[in-house]
Structure 1
């Protein structure tokens, strides 16, 4: 099993950041790679579309509004992994009410590629996504 994570400190309160990213279908609001999100199964499944025409289907596994975190599994995607589970969390920064730390992490089993290649792929997705989040919050 492979793992990777990325984080970013942002100049917004944890509550404000969570309002932007905490909805399971909110990815198009801050992640340019994802152009469309459609919820199904009462909000437990999201069907994502990107600009390349790829479809990614993810299932919500855990959600905690109070702790500002959710976890999801990939059910269908053009990625060389299985058993993918990812968590997105927004942390308050002690002593800095207008700052937050956002963490995005994942575990998965590579298929047809080595651990390092799969980890680099998802680390890039997470880091690029968090950079886009920072731009959205600063813009």
Structure 2
């Protein structure tokens, strides 16, 4: 099983960041390459659409409001992996109430790609997503 993790310090308090990203159906609010999300099964499943019309279906598998994190599994996607499980979490930055650290991590089995290719793909997705989040919070 392969894995990757990316984290970024963002210019907002942890609770502010969590209010923006903590809703399982909130990706379009901060992630430019996911302009559409439809909540299904009472919010436990999200059906995402990318700008090219590709569909990604993900299931929420864990959620912790108090600790500001959730985990999800991909059920359908155009990615060369299976067994995908990802977690996004918001941490406080010690001594700073105006900053937060956001960590996005995942593990998966490459399927139709090498491990290096699959890791590079998700590292780029997480990196670009967290950079977009940081830019959105800075504006």
Cα deviation for residue 136 of structure 1 reads 0.5
Alignment of 1:1-139 (within 5 A): 1-139=1-139
> When the two structures are superposed, what TM-score results if normalisation uses the length of structure 1?
0.99
| Runs of 5+ consecutive residues of structure 1 not aligned to the other structure | none
Alignment root-mean-square deviation, CA? 0.4
- Counterpart of 2:57 in 1: which secondary structure? strand
- Counterpart of 2:25 in 1: which secondary structure? coil
| Runs of 5+ consecutive residues of structure 2 not aligned to the other structure | none
- Counterpart of 1:19 in 2: which secondary structure? helix
Cα deviation for residue 94 of structure 1 reads 1.1
How many corresponding residue pairs?
Answer: 139
- 2:70 and 2:91 map into 1 onto residues whose CA distance is 12
Task: Give the ranges of 4+ consecutive aligned residues of structure 1 lying more than 3 Å apart after TM superposition.
Answer: none
